[in-house]
Structure 1
Amino acid sequence: MVAAAERARQEIEAVRRADGESRTLAASLPRLVLEARRIAANVIHGLHGRRRAGSGESFWQYRRFVSGEPSQNVDWRRSARDDHLYVREHEWEAAHTVWVWPDRSASMAFASRQARDSKLERALIVTFALAELLVAGGERVGVPGLMNPTANRNVIDRMAQAMLHDDLARASLPPSFVPPARSQIVVLSDFWSPIAEITTMLAGLSASGAHGTLLQVVDPAEETFPYSGRVEFVEPEDGSVITAGRAERWARDYVARVALHRDQIRSETKTLDWLFSTHTTDRSAAELLLFLHGGMMASKGGGSTSVKAEHTA
């Protein structure tokens, strides 16, 4: 009887917690969606979608013929106008599938006074804006375990609705699935999970040959540990509490452990030719969006996801 009563209590608490999370998300989503659309609209004006040379039917541009190319590439009608040979290039039309996964676990709700948004809000804004940008460029976007890939222009609305009706536990890392080899994957999380769990996740996602980006979204306070005196730290995932008598004495060890954790993640991603980078929520969401989109387009055009310049916004 005691065990049954305890299970019932846990189920009631789980329902209340899920309902509270849903109400909070429902209240904030309209603002996040509007912000995502605003950022995507601003960024897209400086881009040209998928306009680069590749396989397709839409004309893009003429360029000079390069010695050594097959002669059948020459556009003789255009070349007849002057003394040079020209090649007719077509716009890239090979749509890819991009899986974007924002961490919506309890730890992502944290926001210090220095932050513009909570980690969750920033992850969702960038997820929505990136999806809008990719779909506008002809790509398909999906959310692992939540939404099948789509090229629908209402992709943000579909994502938001899927999240509102998602009653599963909010995991810190994406669910196990096998993406197609040509897929790209973007995971936005604080990545405070144990390195063993992150390694297992990476092994599963990359098993088919897919490539991607791990983007660590953190609060400025998680970077610098600006605490002093007696401070209680509450672990949002399980509610455990740690009390520091003089918190300022913890700063050096904390920063060193964060650096070690990141080095371990970076080592794992480098081995797989994935990208790992960090972003703090006191910086611009548009800056992060440009970085992600630029890295993905570079990897698509060159066949590798390796982007040498690390973003530390």
Structure 2
Amino acid sequence: MARVRVLPESARSPGRQETESALSLAHRMPRLVLEARRVAANLAHGIHGRRRAGIGETFWQFRPFVAGEAAQRIDWRRSGRDDRLYVREREWETAQTVWFWIDRSASMGYASDLAQASKIERAIVLGMALANCFVEGGERVGMLGLMSPRASRRIAETMAQTLVADRASLEEDLPPQAAVAPQHEAILISDFLSPVRDIATMVEGISSRGARGHLVMIVDPVEETFPFQGQAVLHDLEDGLSLRIGDAASWGKAYRLRIEQHRAELQELARRRGWTLTIHRTDRPASEAALRLMTLVATSRGVGAGGR
């Protein structure tokens, strides 16, 4: 049976002393910054180099169609040459701003022995890795409610320092209500276990001026499979409540149905607002989610050029 653990509050924000020292000495960088750099390096020769997809007039490349994209983006002439579907991409010609928000609430401290990392560690690594890729591509990166947009080559370290200094957001499981400017991008990384109506209010607020967005749902494999049997005690990490159940296997069936319904509602919310939803399990490499997000961001910009 899978074992689980919950990280304490101090582990959901990198240690202040460790991180501040690391910012002045590169060889003492925090482990999460180093991991983010590694993930970003794996993407350096991928889809988001100095030339990148967007709303320009110049043809750049054909790339494989990604599930979840609009069907009208398919180039049927190119796709007819073999058994795969392809999308025609044009080169991006103007700099953009990408806003990040990373959930560091109590539920993000959850980790099982089936995962490669805790949810919070994976969320931070993914956010910093993506930010590094965007800056390398000539764009600016900000953090909702915490950091103004900037194009610093030390963006991963800057984000880490910002998270270290911020203690007020540790109990917030949704980002601040702040409308993002038109044509800007918002990437929100969380487990999104809040009620869908609350998430919908947040999404509508951020996108009210026309900004595009992407929800990245971080999931521990145990949260998907619920592989427990016999008696069990369930703990609500946000509210401090506990529930003792006598037959975990039977209870798990209802749980999995509820999770499936919750995700379907999130998917519909994202579709309705023109956003995307990515579900990333912590037993999978961070690079998988990073590559998908880079593709979805490029795709959303191409769609935006012609209107949704």
What range is the shorter-chain TM-score in?
A: 0.7 to 0.9
Distance 1:91 1:248, change over 3 A: closer
Q: Does the residue aligned with 1:132 lie in a helix, a strand or coil?
A: helix
1:243 aligns with 244
Question: Contact conserved, 1:145 with 1:175, CA < 8 A, in 2?
Answer: yes
1:279 aligns with 280
Distance in structure 1 (CA, Å) of the matches to 2:32 and 2:11 = 18
1:168 aligns with 168
Distance 1:203 1:26, change over 3 A: farther
Distance in structure 2 (CA, Å) of the matches to 1:198 and 1:22 = 23
Write out per-residue CA displacement over residues 247-300 of structure 1, whole angstroms, 9 at most, x where no aligned residue: 111111001100111111111111111111211100010011000011111222
Write out per-residue CA displacement over residues 190-234 of structure 1, whole angstroms, 9 at most, x where no aligned residue: 010011111111110111011111111110000011111111111
Question: Contact conserved, 1:295 with 1:305, CA < 8 A, in 2?
Answer: no
Distance in structure 1 (CA, Å) of the matches to 2:11 and 2:40 = 29
Instruction: State the shift of 1:45 in Å.
Output: 2.1
> Larger relative contact order (C-alpha < 8 A, sep ≥ 6)?
2
Write out per-residue CA displacement over residues 111-167 of structure 1, whole angstroms, 9 at most, x where no aligned residue: 111000001000000000000000000111111011111111111111111110102
Question: Contact conserved, 2:98 with 2:185, CA < 8 A, in 1?
Answer: yes
Identity of aligned residues (%): 43
Distance 1:291 1:55, change over 3 A: closer
2:293 aligns with 292
Matched, 1:141 2:133: no
1:147-158 → structure 2 map (5 Å cutoff)? 147-158=147-158
1:12 aligns with none
Distance in structure 2 (CA, Å) of the matches to 1:99 and 1:139 = 11
Question: Contact conserved, 1:52 with 1:60, CA < 8 A, in 2?
Answer: no
> What RMSD, in angstroms, separates the aligned Cα atoms of the two structures?
2.7
Distance 1:248 1:305, change over 3 A: farther
Distance 1:271 1:306, change over 3 A: farther
Which residue type is aligned with residue 111 of structure 1? A
Write out per-residue CA displacement over residues 168-208 of structure 1, whole angstroms, 9 at most, x where no aligned residue: 14211111101101111111110100111111111101110
Distance in structure 1 (CA, Å) of the matches to 2:300 and 2:229 = 44
Distance in structure 1 (CA, Å) of the matches to 2:298 and 2:239 = 39
2:31 aligns with 31
Instruction: State the shift of 1:93 in Å.
Output: 3.4
Per mean C-alpha deviation after superposition, the further-off stretch among 134-143 and 233-242 is 233-242
Distance in structure 2 (CA, Å) of the matches to 1:53 and 1:204 = 27
Which of these two proteins has the greater Rg computed from alpha carbons? Answer: 1
1:13-92 → structure 2 map (5 Å cutoff)? 22=13, 30-47=30-47, 49-52=49-52, 92=92
Question: Contact conserved, 1:214 with 1:277, CA < 8 A, in 2?
Answer: yes
1:201-212 → structure 2 map (5 Å cutoff)? 201-212=202-213
2:269 aligns with 268
Distance in structure 2 (CA, Å) of the matches to 1:150 and 1:140 = 5
Per mean C-alpha deviation after superposition, the further-off stretch among 27-36 and 163-172 is 27-36
Matched, 1:231 2:194: no
Question: Contact conserved, 2:132 with 2:156, CA < 8 A, in 1?
Answer: yes
TM-score by length of 2: 0.78
Q: Does the residue aligned with 2:299 lie in a helix, a strand or coil?
A: helix
Distance in structure 1 (CA, Å) of the matches to 2:216 and 2:53 = 29
Write out per-residue CA displacement over residues 28-69 of structure 1, whole angstroms, 9 at most, x where no aligned residue: 88111101001101111234524158789xx999xxxxxxxx
Distance 1:21 1:274, change over 3 A: closer
Per mean C-alpha deviation after superposition, the further-off stretch among 275-284 and 39-48 is 39-48
1:119 aligns with 119
Question: Contact conserved, 2:53 with 2:298, CA < 8 A, in 1?
Answer: no
2:82 aligns with none
Distance in structure 2 (CA, Å) of the matches to 1:305 and 1:228 = 52
Matched, 1:181 2:160: no
TM-score by length of 1: 0.77
Which residue type is aligned with residue 128 of structure 1? M
Distance 1:94 1:125, change over 3 A: same
Distance in structure 1 (CA, Å) of the matches to 2:217 and 2:154 = 27
Distance 1:280 1:26, change over 3 A: farther
